[in-house]
Amino acid sequence: MDGSVKERTNPKSAKTGSAIADRDTPLIKDCWYVLDWSAEVSNELKNRMVLGQDLVYFRDQEGEVCALQNRCAHRCFPLHRSNLLENDTIQCGYHGLIYNTSGQCVKIPSAPDKKTSGIKVQKYPVVDRAPMIWVWPGDPEKADPALIPDYDWVNTKEWGYGHGYYHLDGNYLAIHENLMDITHFSFLHGSALGTPGHAESKIDVTIEGSVVDNYRINHGEHVPDLHRDYMGIGFAPVTRDSHSKFMTPGFHYAYSLYMDPAGTIDGRKDYRLRILHFISPETQYTTNYWWMFARDFKPEDKKASQFYSDTTLDVFREDGDAIEWMEQQWANEDRPDFQETHVPADKGAVEMRRIIKRMAEEENIQPK
């Protein structure tokens, strides 16, 4: 993914009156977003931008993950470029102020007798739920861990998965929309994911609360190239039952059931895939994106897991290229009178954008 973006649109100047969210709609703060892979956080300082907020984070001596505002309250020196001490405090690398895991300054070396109670940085709610770490960038009083999607099944022996991550130069809604509208499979990804009739199959959209589910079913086609070798059923005709669900601004869930009525391999008729998409806006126009591509066939085959890690990275890079190219078009030639056209396959994506628009309006209501 390459190319430059000349200028970003100021979100404060976003068009008003639109019924659906667009790339300038304010980001949703009161939501859980992935911060990192759980296995990649240790007793060392790291940093990441989430919704325009720079965080420093690490795993303390007790194994708990701590996330704080990544700037010293004195002169804004980045704390991730500072020193993590043995007692799980951070000493600023500029003037030596020391902060505990609550974000409270506990010592000023140049003024050891000065009270530090009024000097602190923001602490963020964090939940470590393997294999992901989640952070809540909004009102901490609303940070209910029960709102984090349930994916504990991925840690069981019945499922194997490939996984990956990349940074995207594009608004996060474009990722959600890309995942909702899978008619692009045949055209952007070719035979890796698409089949001749996939883009033409009927789409049903259901909405439950803030969850939008795109559903389609295909009969009589073979499995896409991506799964043929490890599923092992060759070109046998199957029924492909697919769902793509917008769950939260930070999470998208897709799953497919491939039904082989002939039982080609030892009489097995059902093969399941589940794809977890973790989408964390870095800024208004940049995004961190993690995924897990899980399967219930050959779950303990490490070569299969590596295959899915490598090949899905290639596939999702194609999505990333498309999103970045569209972002460049918006940023470099944002004509005030231009409006995108919707086609029937966009129904689920449009409903998703309606929900995001409503969330943003409710979150940004100014108290009287």
Q: Which of 110, 142, 174 is the last residue in one of the domains?
A: 142
Per the domain annotation, does 228 fall within a domain? yes
- Asked if 284 and 171 count as a contact pair (C-beta separation under 8 A), the reply is yes
In this predicted structure, the answer to whether residue 366 has a pLDDT above a threshold of 60 is no
Going through the chain in order, the beta strands assigned E by DSSP cover 33-37, 46-50, 53-59, 65-69, 83-84, 90-91, 98-99, 105-107, 126-129, 132-135, 160-168, 204-208, 211-221, 238-248, 251-259, 270-283, 286-295
Same domain, 132 and 159: no
Report the CATH number that the domain containing residue 322 is assigned in CATH. 3.90.380.10
Per the domain annotation, does 207 fall within a domain? yes
Same domain, 184 and 137: no
Same domain, 265 and 324: yes
Report the CATH number that the domain containing residue 97 is assigned in CATH. 2.102.10.10
Give the 3-state secondary structure of residue 32.
coil
Which domain covers residue 128, as residue numbers?
Answer: 26-142
Same domain, 100 and 173: no
Same domain, 175 and 311: yes
Q: Which of 80, 109, 142 is the last residue in one of the domains?
A: 142
Domain count along the chain: 2
Predicted pLDDT at 2: 43
Structure tokens at 231: 């599923």
> CA–CA separation, 282 vs 289, rounded Å?
10
Strand order in the sheet with 98-99: 83-84, 90-91, 98-99, 105-107
Least confident piece of the model among 124-128, 138-142, 174-178, 343-347: 343-347
Give the 3-state secondary structure of residue 236.
coil
Phi-psi region at 267: left, alpha or beta (left = phi > 0; alpha = psi -120 to 50): left
> CA–CA separation, 66 vs 176, rounded Å?
29
Same domain, 129 and 162: no
> CA–CA separation, 120 vs 141, rounded Å?
18
In the DSSP assignment, the letter for residue 187 is I
Same domain, 229 and 314: yes
pLDDT by residue (tens digit) across 78-104?
A: 999 999 999 999 999 999 999 999 999
Same domain, 182 and 116: no
Per the domain annotation, does 12 fall within a domain? no
Q: How far is CA 40 from CA 45, 128, 132, 357, in A?
A: 11, 12, 9, 34
Strand-pair partners of 90: 84, 99
pLDDT by residue (tens digit) across 303-315?
A: 999 999 998 888 8
Give the 3-state secondary structure of residue 224.
coil
Strand order in the sheet with 132-135: 33-37, 132-135, 126-129
In this predicted structure, the answer to whether residue 227 has a pLDDT above a threshold of 90 is no
DSSP string, 263-285: -TBTTB-EEEEEEEEEEEEEETT
Same domain, 171 and 128: no
Same domain, 194 and 319: yes
Q: Which of 142, 172, 187 is the last residue in one of the domains?
A: 142
* Predicted TM-score of the model (pTM): 0.89
In this predicted structure, the answer to whether residue 8 has a pLDDT above a threshold of 80 is no
pLDDT by residue (tens digit) across 196-216?
A: 666 667 889 999 999 999 998
Strand-pair partners of 160: 295
